[in-house]
Structure 1
Amino acid sequence: MVNRFPFARHSAVIGLGAPTVALAAYFTAYQPRPLTGEDSIVMVSGAMRVAALGIALAAAWDAGRLRRARIAAAPSSRHLLRVFVDALAPNLALVIISWVASFLLVISYLGGPAPGLYDTVPVVRSFAVPLSAVAVGFFLGLFLSPVVARPLAVVITALWVFVAYALGVPWLRAISGFDMSTPTYTDVVDRAYLMAPAILALGLLLGLVALSLFSRPALRAAAMACCVLAGFGASYPLVSDAPRYADPTVPRTWATTCERTAPVICVPGEFADDIPALHRSARQALPRLREAGFTPPRKLAFVSEDLPLARDTWRTHLQKPVTRHRSRGIYISALVPSGLHDCPRLPDDYVYPGRGAAFAWVGLTVGMSEEEVTRSYGPTGAYRARWVRSLPKAKQYAWYKQELSYLKSCDEQVHEKARAGAKAEKERGRALGPELENPADTAPGANR
């Protein structure tokens, strides 16, 4: 009797599949280019969250057909699990097809890197929301009238996808699968934290299995509730202490590759092809920095800020593509701190001394032109660096150390001293050479 119902051949997926896949593709195509393999999966995950609306509707529609046939309401059905699988198969296929379509767009259209073995957990997590939508839609379709179940499945999924994260509850945002932080070349979201939505989805799917194993309504309800609560109970501890404004991250150590030629250069795997260019830059920049008073490093490492480094290692920063300018800029990121000031007693709108002059001085020291540092760090920093470069080498290095002390200080009097000195240095530097400002930038009404 059961086999007479060709559920899969008359699934709602036939009508809703194309719009759902198109929705996933649309939201994928407008994403920025991913940085890493995990970032590619984050793009897919975001698209699948939106596609979950159509997936939930299709699941509720197909389950409603089972409800009309009164299969789930039968007192006993040895083949109920097979019927559920037959009815769910088109919906699961829709999940996979939508995922593959989004993934292929990320790789081919956006040019994102393909994920690797270490990205398995993010891949699993990207299926969590659509599979949860399948389970929720199927539950509602089995037990409620189609007029109620179908729109309710879409509404519940929409609330889970678009509203849960906006409530400001960190654990709810995390368990709903919303990505608060984007993976970078050096840091990724903690794997245990990522598994929470997948575990909850597994609990919902096991609830469907439990529903098919019992004939008494009370036992079915109890088994379903136990599975769902078990899924929530296993996932909640993973996100219970979630940060409020970011996802917890860990260093992406497995992706680091090192070239042992002195100086040792360690970069994420995405930059492995750029190591020769970085070595060429090092052969030009490090002797100049030695002349300026620095002790050249044994290693240059573009790694997570959370990883401690040895004293003979400089922490660098890179962006794609690695141009000649950026290969020199790694010494600026290594020698001048660019993080936020840690001065809690000062107001949020307090204006700290600028870093532009220190940036520009290191840039000029390693071989950048005045035009380059002016474009990157502004004419004020370039003027000041020009004046500093006119001093003896020892005094230049002393000025650099003093600038670092200004940048690290939280004393307002020290900051006032720094600003006064900066003004005088700018005028001296302006007098030493040609103007660096573009007249259009200083014209009245110019947007600066």
Structure 2
Amino acid sequence: MLFYYFDNHISLLPNHGYAPTVVVNAIGPICALAYAVTATMAVWEMGRLKEGRVWDSPIVRTRLRVAINAGVPILLVSGLMLALPAALAFVQTGVRPTVSSLVLLGQQLLICVAYIAIGYGVGFWTPRLISAPILGGLVYYFVAFSVAGYSYAWRHLVGYFFEPLMFGELPTRNALLAPLVLIGAVAVASTLIWISPRHLMLRCCVAAGIAVAGVPAAYSMVQSWGASTPVVTGAAPVVCTGKSPEVCMPEISAAKLDFVHTQAVSVARELKVAGISETPRLITDRLSDGRHQRSSTDAVWRAQLTAGVTRGDVRYQIALSSLHFPCAGPDQVIVHTASLWVATTAGEGPAYEKLLDRWAARADSNAAAVAEIKKQAREARAESRDKQQAWYEKLLADACEEAP
């Protein structure tokens, strides 16, 4: 509870009503501590069973059954450490949990189960007074300091949500499975060593084989990943309406969908009359794209619809979404020129000029460039429709030819 409130700024990061973001923001800071506490308690509990000579007594229940019964309170504690911050975050933000958000929490609980098994294995063969704090410290270091290591693979294999999820994002299946493969393999190997008093050498060989196979298998899943956790986008539910164009927005902002559709139809009609582009099949909200923003195409325009509704400039956002270049890095001065002309055509020129004025205020060289941008756009608007269209098409081509 105290840990949650000390890290309250994490739980209140922007979530846009997206439940997986709420869960990750809440449990990310505490999962390393939860794993360490789980492993420490498991070592201590196994040591207690050994000191009580439970394994030497003629009991009817198997060692596994005894260990499971003893591990239930440990799992309840670790589960509470993870579930309570998530529950508090849901209450505090007013967001309802979803299946995808509970899957993220479930993965953390499975890792806790694995650490119980690892702690049992360590506690079975070592004195608990020594091994319990040592294992707890090692687990905490293994998880919490993974982001400080030189190897990106390390941070992806420990089951640590070290960065927030953006709206519409979810970790990929392999991102969730990789920590379970690594820690699960070690847990199974650890369990085989103490699970039965018979065939110790055979069980040790099998355990070694599982561990040796599990570690490279997990590493092979993450070795090509970069610094960030791989995610899939578009996971948030959306609502769509209309045709030619169809407009889609996330459920959280769908109350304004009819208004946005009306504005989208108006902007698309004005741009079509100006000869800029044909009416797109779909206009969708960039919010669902997460951190991996995609460019618009002729058929699909990607606009900041939710942000536009909030700021009152949704027409401006739709107009700019129609602009896309045939290369990845177009010349920025030409981009601004084309954007100003498109925005002016849609009746949103003053909004883009304010953006240019802020850019011009940063440096004298910017001010000169902005003056030229405004001049070219103004002169183009004075020409006939056909000349404007030809000028615009040449501008798009020049943007890629003059790109650095």
TM-score category of the 2 structures, normalised to the smaller one: 0.7 to 0.9
Q: 2:62 aligns with which of 79, 83, 91?
A: 79
Measure, in 2, the Cα distance between the counterparts of 1:125 and 1:244: 22
**Counterpart check, 1:126 vs 2:113:** no
Secondary structure of 2:76 counterpart:
helix
Which residue does the alignment assign to 1:172? Answer: 154
Secondary structure of 2:301 counterpart:
strand
**Counterpart check, 1:388 vs 2:371:** no
Structure 1 residue 94, shift from structure 2 partner: 1.3
**Counterpart check, 1:296 vs 2:276:** no
C-alpha contact (below 8 Å) 2:260/2:305 kept by paired residues? no
- What amino acid sits opposite 2:397 in the alignment? S
Q: 1:373 aligns with which of 330, 352, 374?
A: 352
**CA separation of 1:197 and 1:48: change in aligned 2, threshold 3 A:** farther
C-alpha contact (below 8 Å) 1:37/1:114 kept by paired residues? yes
C-alpha contact (below 8 Å) 1:332/1:362 kept by paired residues? yes
C-alpha contact (below 8 Å) 1:58/1:137 kept by paired residues? yes
Structure 1 residue 28, shift from structure 2 partner: 5.6
- Listed one character per residue, the Cα deviations across residues 87-122 of structure 1 (whole Å, up to 9, x for unaligned) are 211110012212221211332224555333x55653
Which residue does the alignment assign to 2:28? Answer: 46
Equivalent runs, 1:108-257 vs 2, <5 Å:
108-112=91-95, 114-116=97-99, 118=100, 121-179=103-161, 182-185=164-167, 187-207=169-189, 209-211=191-193, 213-216=195-198, 217-219=200-202, 221-229=204-212, 231-232=214-215, 234-240=217-223, 242-252=224-234, 255-257=237-239
- What amino acid sits opposite 2:261 in the alignment? H
Secondary structure of 2:247 counterpart:
strand
Secondary structure of 1:267 counterpart:
strand
Structure 1 residue 279, shift from structure 2 partner: 0.8
Unaligned runs of 5+ in 2: 361-368
C-alpha contact (below 8 Å) 1:128/1:197 kept by paired residues? no
Q: 1:314 aligns with which of 274, 282, 301?
A: 301
Structure 1 residue 141, shift from structure 2 partner: 3.1
- Listed one character per residue, the Cα deviations across residues 402-424 of structure 1 (whole Å, up to 9, x for unaligned) are 44334433555xxxxxxxxxxxx
Q: 2:319 aligns with which of 331, 348, 352?
A: 331
Secondary structure of 1:335 counterpart:
coil
Which 4+ stretches in 1 moved above 6 angstroms? 73-77, 305-310
Which residue does the alignment assign to 1:408? Answer: 400
- What amino acid sits opposite 2:67 in the alignment? F
Which residue does the alignment assign to 1:415? Answer: none
Secondary structure of 1:215 counterpart:
coil
Structure 1 residue 46, shift from structure 2 partner: 1.1
- What amino acid sits opposite 1:126 in the alignment? Q
Structure 1 residue 25, shift from structure 2 partner: 5.3
Unaligned runs of 5+ in 1: 1-20, 343-350, 413-448
How does the TM-score come out when normalised to structure 1? Answer: 0.70
Measure, in 1, the Cα distance between the counterparts of 2:347 and 2:209: 67
How does the TM-score come out when normalised to structure 2? Answer: 0.77
Structure 1 residue 58, shift from structure 2 partner: 2.9
**CA separation of 1:48 and 1:178: change in aligned 2, threshold 3 A:** same
- What amino acid sits opposite 1:22 in the alignment? L
Measure, in 2, the Cα distance between the counterparts of 1:355 and 1:94: 56
Which residue does the alignment assign to 2:48? Answer: 65
**Counterpart check, 1:282 vs 2:270:** no
Structure 1 residue 373, shift from structure 2 partner: 2.8
C-alpha contact (below 8 Å) 1:28/1:47 kept by paired residues? no
Secondary structure of 1:296 counterpart:
coil
**CA separation of 1:411 and 1:92: change in aligned 2, threshold 3 A:** closer
Single out whichever of 374-383 and 46-55 deviates more from structure 2.
374-383
Structure 1 residue 367, shift from structure 2 partner: 3.1
**CA separation of 1:237 and 1:266: change in aligned 2, threshold 3 A:** same
Secondary structure of 1:265 counterpart:
strand
Higher RCO (Cα < 8 Å, 6 or more apart): 2
Structure 1 residue 286, shift from structure 2 partner: 2.2
- What amino acid sits opposite 2:303 in the alignment? T
Measure, in 2, the Cα distance between the counterparts of 1:327 and 1:127: 46
